[in-house]
Structure 1
């Protein structure tokens, strides 16, 4: 590369003195979502990405002979690591798939060596990604505003949400018709395509420390079967769980493979740390492969695996090693609320969450 990657230094982050207050308000909004859904379902679910479309078990193969700038943190040494993989939709309530929202994945990579982030139990490294390259809110305060709106409508007005979602899909189609990209807010509010999760490319959207450097992460489908699904949509008419059903049929007959990619920051002005609404131009900061994620053909809705991962595990960008510390105000604002949500689920469901290679985390009221 012609431009050397930017080296990590604590000064790359700019802290808002009101961040603690914003986090407290995010927790309050999460409580509205968590309490309402738990009351309605008789069971606590996640405050975001509540609905799962599939759970897979596999392995991450870290490439050999990576150049020094890529051989960092969890990727410093070649090897194989067991993984758990959860596919989901971003709402905090379990909605029928006719309400089309952005998709996400959470990846837990086991047995990662290195100094742990504060409060990060076990030896796993989590990566949380969505099927778009940018976040819908520039700051944690902006995210709080969106979250308050979601809290007001959580598990309410399902019919209205379906109508709005259909209308927003039409808005997105109109943008595409003239060769333009619809604003991220259109997808976030219900206009996202009902795309095939196995064909999507996923992005961390927020930056992270990458050992001595700064990076964003991505998963891109590698197998020909998955690449054939890219851009395809799922017919959800009359099927509330159509995405889950299609993923289950597909994973029984194909080996899913993603390329794990790293996008190193090479210019803090063009690839800012504190604004996740800015897409890092791949022409200036290209994605580079560091490993391969493999999920052999399996039942993506196996009851035992769903219980172990969907109910008994938590995922957070703050579960991992210091070498992959989340960066930026949006990431900092995710730390306590993600734990807050997981603690609520554990307490209400009477089901402690389990981090691989760590003692059971018991919860008290």
Structure 2
């Protein structure tokens, strides 16, 4: 019998001054987005992370039938098929050619027509559920307190790295001293080590990556992490598996558009249930949970059908859509110190961006609305 850890709010370890950290993070997000046209040399305001979208694609999600009780929780309690949309993106906070942006990427998934009250502020009645996933099993920050200084450095990452070795050294020194406000400490060093794992991500077609939730989520009565992984047929179907990031400005986008024009592609949406809080910590996002202790188990299938995508990857659709991990049921919400900081941060980012771009911030209720540019006009 598998003994899975039962969810309790006490596991989340929310600190006393949490709201103060959130206020600082949200202010920094607004200030940064105001300046994104100048920073990226473009004519519109971008997200503060995952600024460069590669493609928005039509999809379908099937929640599986006959799941065991520990898996059939929250969203996954009832089987069904749902329309969905996927946004692939680069993780950088600026719109730059791929060779200057690194290989960190995002898989944002929006599923339509999921009943139940949602946690995104002001969107309790939304019928949509979002997932914000990254192609690395660990993240480089553990607490809202640390994110206050880490986010400032991350947003200037490109500036430091353009200076070469000395710039990287300066960046590391500022990181471990919390922007010169503390002595080097173990936590900051561990977070910097997690950031370096992103440099090891290979240059492969975006459809071939595994994408992970940044941290832990509530899984009904339990605690879990989430993964989206390509199926074997999808891995075999991709013809150009490696991407030459020097070959063009945005070869990742070209690779996505080329492959989805040829085949239906399928993915597994999986959860990894927590069995040991020491080996599978909730508030240490730099730690990968061991799969030999608790393997990922499939709860849903994602199909991205063969489709023609314009050369810009459906640019206008990508920019108008917003994704937040708290547009979800309470039973499936992100949990823990840093994860809770995302509840208002994503809404702040999306609201600011839409206001500055003079676009209507409104959730589509189906694929037809999502891919209709008229839907987002004021």
Fold conserved (TM > 0.5)?
A: yes
The alpha-carbon deviation at position 303 of structure 1 amounts to 6.4
Please tell me whether the aligned partners of residues 221 and 227 of structure 1 are also in contact (alpha carbons under 8 angstroms).
Answer: no
Q: Kindly tell me the number of residue pairs found equivalent between the two proteins.
A: 343
TM-score, structure 1 as length reference: 0.85
Say which is worse superposed, 270-279 or 340-349, in terms of deviation: 270-279
The alpha-carbon distance between structure 1 residues 21 and 330, as it changes in their structure 2 partners (threshold 3 A), is same
Give 1:285's aligned residue: 294
RMSD, aligned α-carbons: 2.9
The alpha-carbon distance between structure 1 residues 243 and 162, as it changes in their structure 2 partners (threshold 3 A), is farther
Please tell me whether the aligned partners of residues 55 and 253 of structure 2 are also in contact (alpha carbons under 8 angstroms).
Answer: yes
Give 2:231's aligned residue: 222
Distance in 1 between the 2:150 and 2:25 partners?
Answer: 10
User: Is the counterpart of residue 331 in structure 1 residue 335 in structure 2?
Assistant: no
The alpha-carbon deviation at position 233 of structure 1 amounts to 3.2
Which runs of no fewer than 5 residues in structure 2 stay unpaired? Answer: 169-191, 370-374
- Correspondences of 1:38-187 after superposition (within 5 Å): 38-39=37-38, 40-99=41-100, 100-117=102-119, 119=121, 120-121=123-124, 122-152=126-156, 160=163, 183-187=193-197
Distance in 2 between the 1:48 and 1:193 partners?
Answer: 20
Which of residues 268, 283, 297 in structure 2 aligns to 1:274?
A: 283
Distance in 2 between the 1:160 and 1:42 partners?
Answer: 26
Q: Cα deviation per residue 1:145-198 (whole Å; 9 max; x = unaligned)? A: 2211133356x5785579989xxxxxxxxxxxxxxxx9432244x564323210
Give 1:29's aligned residue: 28
The alpha-carbon distance between structure 1 residues 152 and 306, as it changes in their structure 2 partners (threshold 3 A), is closer
Aligned residue for 2:53, secondary structure, equals strand
The alpha-carbon deviation at position 135 of structure 1 amounts to 0.9
Give 1:344's aligned residue: 352
Which runs of no fewer than 5 residues in structure 1 stay unpaired? Answer: 166-181
Say which is worse superposed, 251-260 or 228-237, in terms of deviation: 228-237
The alpha-carbon distance between structure 1 residues 196 and 95, as it changes in their structure 2 partners (threshold 3 A), is same
User: Is the counterpart of residue 15 in structure 1 residue 14 in structure 2?
Assistant: yes
